[in-house]
Amino acid sequence: AQSVTQLGSHVSVSEGALVLLRCNYSSSVPPYLFWYVQYPNQGLQLLLKYTTGATLVKGINGFEAEFKKSETSFHLTKPSAHMSDAAEYFCAVTPNQGGKLIFGQGTELSVKP
Amino acid sequence: NAGVTQTPKFRILKIGQSMTLQCTQDMNHNYMYWYRQDPGMGLKLIYYSVGAGITDKGEVPNGYNVSRSTTEDFPLRLELAAPSQTSVYFCASRTVGTDPEQYFGPGTRLTVT
């Protein structure tokens, strides 16, 4: 069965600092991987996704993630945090095109001025 | 396109009452999903549908029912509401094909007291 683990339920960074949110997955087949962002009192918005091809994926708002099959990881990074990045971030996996999404428990990102 | 819409935005129910959460999408998506989000738990799949007339259980279906009479609508029914059903409920949809991205509605915040 697939599962997703996000290391750290809360991450705090200073404005301008590197953002690193960790995601590890387990899957018996090559998965599709996603990062979603949820701003307060809003729905989920797709940041980026990996399906096939290039393992470094660029998303919206300057975020990117790298699929590392050998490490079963899909960590999310942004070189310089902005106050507007404060939100909850969810990593998710699905084993194939028709599969259901399995979500991690979420990481709340705080950005300090 | 409005995308995925959900009504109501907020609702307070008394124990034992019933209600229907509405979800509509205007993207002609075949797949639709209902999730619940609890703090620190990520999103859990309640029910999903791969097309009109076809529904199936997800990870946490107990206490809920769904129907899918049209492509656009996927209502979620709560019978005999319980405090354990206090949560934020999200509806999502996706197309059939190679793009596995799910599009989320804004959510319904339900409190059962």
pLDDT single digits (tens) B30-60? 999 999 999 888 899 999 999 999 999 999 9
> What kind and span of H or E run contains A36?
strand A32-38
Here the tokens at position A80 are 């310089």
The single-letter code of the amino acid at A85 is: D
* Whether B77 contacts B22, CB under 8 Å: no
Chain B positions in Cβ-Cβ contact with residue A9 (cut-off 8 Å): 40
Here the tokens at position A30 are 């090559």
CA distance A90 to A40: 13
Instruction: Please list, residue by residue across A43-81, b when 16 or more beta carbons sit within 10 angstroms of its beta carbon and e when fewer do.
Output: bbebbbbbbeeeeebebeeebbbebeeeeebbbbebeeb
pLDDT tens column, A62-106: 999 999 989 999 999 999 999 999 999 999 998 765 668 899 999
Q: What is the pLDDT of residue A25?
A: 92
Picking from A90, A94, A105, the nearest residue to B100 by CB comes out as A94
Q: What is the pLDDT of residue A71?
A: 92
CA-based nearest residue in chain A for residue B50 = A98
Spans of chain B, pLDDT less than 50:
none
* Whether B108 contacts B11, CB under 8 Å: yes
- Helix, strand, or coil (residue A23): strand
Nearest-Cα distance to chain A for B105, in Å, is: 6
| Three-state DSSP string of A22-88 | EEEEECCCCCEEEEEEECCCCCEEEEEEECCCCCEEECHHHCEEEEEHHHCEEEEEECCCCHHHCEE
